[in-house]
Structure 1
Amino acid sequence: MLDLREQTAIIIDHLLDPDFWSCLLEADCDSPDPISEEEKILKVAQCLRAFGDQYNDMIQEQMKEFKPRLTELKNNQASEGFSRMVTELSNSRVLCTHAEQLGPEMNVLRTTVILGMYISKEVPELLPRIKDAMVNYINTNLLTWIRQSGGWENLL
């Protein structure tokens, strides 16, 4: 059985893989529990993708402000730059209005997903760095909450 850190890496890998999504039918987050661990991980990635897509239009103006700063993610401090952007976006007025419904940790997870998806579309050459930055951010800032929630499969 994979530990949560390993599951996180696989989930983010699937989440940001355009080839994976181009051949997958629309996510069904409410389907019965999958059988295998791999199916559970894929279900989490599908639900996170749907989650990110749901809020994508809402934060387009904020994302335009980040666009000039995306070049700073090309250097060796991609994780730090990504972390700063997640914090800024999580605290934005647009997302704070929805944060009360989700709770602080889910809001940060949502923001991480939205930002990662946006950057991977806008600057595809940053994909490996963004995947690493997202996994690092989630494992550093949200892993305890994910564990206390019963793991990824019980979170969504």
Structure 2
Amino acid sequence: MAPADFKTQTDLVVQFLFADEDEIQQRILDSIESDGEGSTEEEDDFDPVLVADKLRTIGDALNNDPRFGAVMSDLKTAAAKETLEAAFSHSVEALCETYSATAPEVAPEVQLIKTSVALGVYVAKTAPELKSKVQNALSSFLSNRVSGWVTQQGGWDKVRDLDE
């Protein structure tokens, strides 16, 4: 998977992570209709809806952590100042420090993925007005911080199957 492919896949995963049920159903219908029309095996392995669904499950499980609420005011202030991407990255790193202390056996990249997705889902649910900005920040964060690791694992479809 080339770096450009990773960015495209990441954007699709994040898009479906924040998608409503109608958008997801439309994607499923579109993929059913296009099966067999010149698709390659590599394309068939990657399904952004399945990856997003797995990441959403992880995010929802972590959203009960009170530390997520604590970063909301910082993110809202940053959004008003147009610095949400930097604040999002800083918040993920701060939350990861806490989690890595309690689960040091988990790869740092997995911690970054879990925490960034959980924070993104939390912000989108609790501050819907920030949804598009957080979607962009999450996509950028994942592309910049974990692209090499996800590529080494074999892509998003392989990361989805990790049970860490």
Instruction: Give the TM-score taking structure 1 as reference length.
Output: 0.80
Contact 1:79/1:133 (CA < 8 Å) preserved in 2? yes
Question: Number of residue pairs matched?
Answer: 142
Q: Is the 8 A contact 1:72 1:81 kept in 2?
A: no
User: Within 1, Cα distance between the matches of 2:86 and 2:44?
Assistant: 31
User: Which stretches in structure 2 are left out of the alignment for 5+ residues?
Assistant: 27-40
1:52-131 aligned within 5 A: 52-57=59-64, 59=65, 61-74=66-79, 75-92=81-98, 95-131=99-135
- Report the counterpart of residue 15 of structure 1 in structure 2: 17
How far the C-alpha of 1:37 sits from its partner, in A, is: 4.0
Q: Which moved more, 1:113-122 or 1:37-46?
A: 37-46
- What is the Cα-based RMSD across aligned positions, in Å? 2.4
Checking the alignment, whether the CA contact within 8 Å between 1:73 and 1:126 is kept in structure 2 is no
Deviations 1:32-86 (A, max 9, x none): xxx86496221111111111122222x1x11221122122232321110100110
SS in structure 2 of the partner of residue 3 of structure 1: helix
1:27 corresponds to: none
For residues 141 and 10 of structure 2, the distance between their equivalents in structure 1, rounded to whole angstroms, comes to 10
Larger Rg: 2
TM-score of the superposition, structure 2-length normalised? 0.76
Moved more, 99-108 or 145-154: 99-108
Tell me, what secondary structure is at the counterpart of 2:82? coil
Counterpart of 1:30? none
**1-side partners of 2:116 and 2:22: how far apart?**
20
Question: What are the ranges of 5 or more consecutive residues in structure 1 without an aligned counterpart?
Answer: 25-34
Q: Which amino acid aligns with 2:59?
A: G
Deviation beyond 3 Å, 4+ runs, structure 1: 18-24, 35-39
- Partner residue, 1:5: 7
Identity over the aligned pairs, expressed in percent?
A: 25
